[in-house]
Structure 1
Amino acid sequence: MIAFAPRENLQRLCIIRTLFVGSLVVALLWAQLRLNLLLNLQALGSILLVSTLLTLVTLWRLKAAAPVTQTELFGQLLFDVCTLSLVFFFSGGATNPFVSFYLVPLSIAAATLAWPYVWAMLLLCLLSYGVLLFFYVPLADLYPQIRVQGDVTRMAQLHVIGMWLTFVISSLLITTFVVRMASALRRKQRELATHREQQLRNEQLMAIATLAAGTAHELGTPLSTLKTLLREMQLDHASNPSLSEEIQCLLDQVNLCRDSLNTLVCNSRDNQPRSMEIQQMLTRLIDRWQLMRPQERVSIDIATSLSGLSTLWDPTLDQALINLLNNAADQSESISLSACTDKDSFQLRVRDYGKGISARNAEELGELFHSEKHEGMGIGFSLSQATIERLGGQVRLYRHPVQGTVTEILLPLIPRNPLSP
Structure 2
Amino acid sequence: MPASDIIAGTGLREDAGRRNVRLLAILRWLAVGGQLAAIALVHFLVGVRLPLVPMLGAIGVLVALNLAIGQIVGRRPITNGALFATLLVDVACLTTQLYLSGGVGNPFVTLFLLQVVIAALLLRDHASWAMVALTSGLFAWLAHFAPPFALPPGWASSLSTPYIAGSWFNFTLTAVLLALFVTRIVRNVSEHDARLAALRQRAAEEEHIVRMGLLASGAAHELGTPLSSIAVVLGDWRREPAIAASPTLLAELEDMRTEVTRCKDILSQILLASGEVRGNAPVRTTLRTFLSGIVGDWRGKTQVAAAYEHLMTGDPRIVADKALAQTITNLLDNALEAGGRRIALCAWWDGDRLVLSVRDDGRGFAPAILDGLGKPYLSTKTRRGAGLGLFLAVNVLRTLGGTVSARNRSEGGGEVTLTLPIAAISMPEDSA
Taking the aligned partners of 1:272 and 1:167, their CA distance within structure 2 comes to 71
Distance change in 2, residues 1:45/1:338 (3 Å)? same
Verify the 8 A CA contact 2:279 2:321 in the aligned structure 1: no
Distance change in 2, residues 1:165/1:281 (3 Å)? same
Verify the 8 A CA contact 1:278 1:310 in the aligned structure 2: yes
| 1:317 aligned onto 2:329 | no
Q: Which residue of 2 aligns with 1:289?
A: 298
Q: Which residue of 1 aligns with 2:357?
A: 349
Q: Which amino acid aligns with 2:312?
A: S
How far apart are 1:353 and its partner, in Å? 4.7
Q: Which residue of 2 aligns with 1:102?
A: 112
Q: Which residue of 1 aligns with 2:210?
A: 206
Give SS of 2:76's match.
coil
Verify the 8 A CA contact 1:311 1:412 in the aligned structure 2: no
Distance change in 2, residues 1:208/1:13 (3 Å)? closer
| 1:391 aligned onto 2:400 | yes
| 1:181 aligned onto 2:185 | yes
Q: Which amino acid aligns with 2:186?
A: A
- Equivalent residue for 1:136, pick from 131, 136, 146: 146
Q: Which residue of 2 aligns with 1:111?
A: 121
Moved more, 365-374 or 23-32: 23-32
Could you give the per-residue CA deviations for residues 265-324 of structure 1, whole angstroms, max 9, x where no partner exists?
A: 9x6884799997543332132233334x424x2442514335436889554222222233
Could you give the per-residue CA deviations for residues 11-47 of structure 1, whole angstroms, max 9, x where no partner exists?
A: 3453355456656666479849856523673996599
How far apart are 1:258 and its partner, in Å? 7.7
- Equivalent residue for 2:50, pick from 37, 40, 54: 37
Taking the aligned partners of 2:123 and 2:94, their CA distance within structure 1 comes to 22
| 1:328 aligned onto 2:343 | no
CA-atom RMSD, angstroms? 5.3
Distance change in 2, residues 1:15/1:251 (3 Å)? closer
Distance change in 2, residues 1:389/1:87 (3 Å)? farther
| 1:367 aligned onto 2:372 | no
**Aligned counterparts, 1:399-418, within 5 A:** 399-401=408-410, 403-413=412-422
Aligned residues: 403
Distance change in 2, residues 1:173/1:305 (3 Å)? same
Q: Which amino acid aligns with 1:125?
A: T
- Equivalent residue for 1:63, pick from 76, 80, 84: 76
Taking the aligned partners of 2:171 and 2:153, their CA distance within structure 1 comes to 17
- Unaligned 5+ runs, structure 1: none
Distance change in 2, residues 1:51/1:286 (3 Å)? farther
Verify the 8 A CA contact 2:335 2:359 in the aligned structure 1: yes
Give SS of 1:374's match.
coil
Verify the 8 A CA contact 1:352 1:406 in the aligned structure 2: yes
What percentage of aligned pairs have identical amino acids? 22
**Aligned counterparts, 1:114-193, within 5 A:** 118-119=128-129, 121-141=131-151, 152-154=157-159, 164=168, 167-168=171-172, 170-193=174-197
Verify the 8 A CA contact 1:320 1:385 in the aligned structure 2: no
How far apart are 1:389 and its partner, in Å? 1.6
Taking the aligned partners of 1:54 and 1:351, their CA distance within structure 2 comes to 60
Q: Which amino acid aligns with 1:15?
A: R
- Superposition TM-score, scaled by structure 2 size: 0.68
Verify the 8 A CA contact 1:285 1:318 in the aligned structure 2: yes
Taking the aligned partners of 2:284 and 2:128, their CA distance within structure 1 comes to 49
How far apart are 1:166 and its partner, in Å? 5.2
Taking the aligned partners of 1:193 and 1:201, their CA distance within structure 2 comes to 12
- Unaligned 5+ runs, structure 2: 1-7
Q: Which amino acid aligns with 2:323?
A: T
Q: Which amino acid aligns with 2:202?
A: Q
Taking the aligned partners of 1:195 and 1:9, their CA distance within structure 2 comes to 22
Verify the 8 A CA contact 1:346 1:412 in the aligned structure 2: yes
Q: Which residue of 1 aligns with 2:384?
A: 376
Q: Which amino acid aligns with 2:21?
A: C
How far apart are 1:165 and its partner, in Å? 5.3
Taking the aligned partners of 1:261 and 1:208, their CA distance within structure 2 comes to 9
Verify the 8 A CA contact 1:298 1:334 in the aligned structure 2: yes
Give SS of 2:190's match.
helix
How far apart are 1:388 and its partner, in Å? 0.8
Q: Which amino acid aligns with 2:213?
A: A
Verify the 8 A CA contact 2:18 2:74 in the aligned structure 1: no
Taking the aligned partners of 2:271 and 2:38, their CA distance within structure 1 comes to 86
| 1:52 aligned onto 2:57 | no
How far apart are 1:385 and its partner, in Å? 1.0
Distance change in 2, residues 1:201/1:171 (3 Å)? same
Taking the aligned partners of 1:194 and 1:138, their CA distance within structure 2 comes to 58
Verify the 8 A CA contact 2:344 2:359 in the aligned structure 1: yes
Taking the aligned partners of 2:75 and 2:413, their CA distance within structure 1 comes to 37
Q: Which amino acid aligns with 2:158?
A: T
Taking the aligned partners of 1:235 and 1:282, their CA distance within structure 2 comes to 43
Q: Which residue of 2 aligns with 1:304?
A: 311
Verify the 8 A CA contact 1:320 1:383 in the aligned structure 2: yes
Taking the aligned partners of 1:207 and 1:393, their CA distance within structure 2 comes to 23
Q: Which amino acid aligns with 1:349?
A: S
Distance change in 2, residues 1:8/1:368 (3 Å)? same
Q: Which amino acid aligns with 2:65?
A: T
Q: Which amino acid aligns with 1:360?
A: A
How far apart are 1:195 and its partner, in Å? 2.5
Distance change in 2, residues 1:257/1:372 (3 Å)? same
Taking the aligned partners of 2:121 and 2:320, their CA distance within structure 1 comes to 44
Verify the 8 A CA contact 1:357 1:399 in the aligned structure 2: yes
Q: Which residue of 2 aligns with 1:337?
A: 344
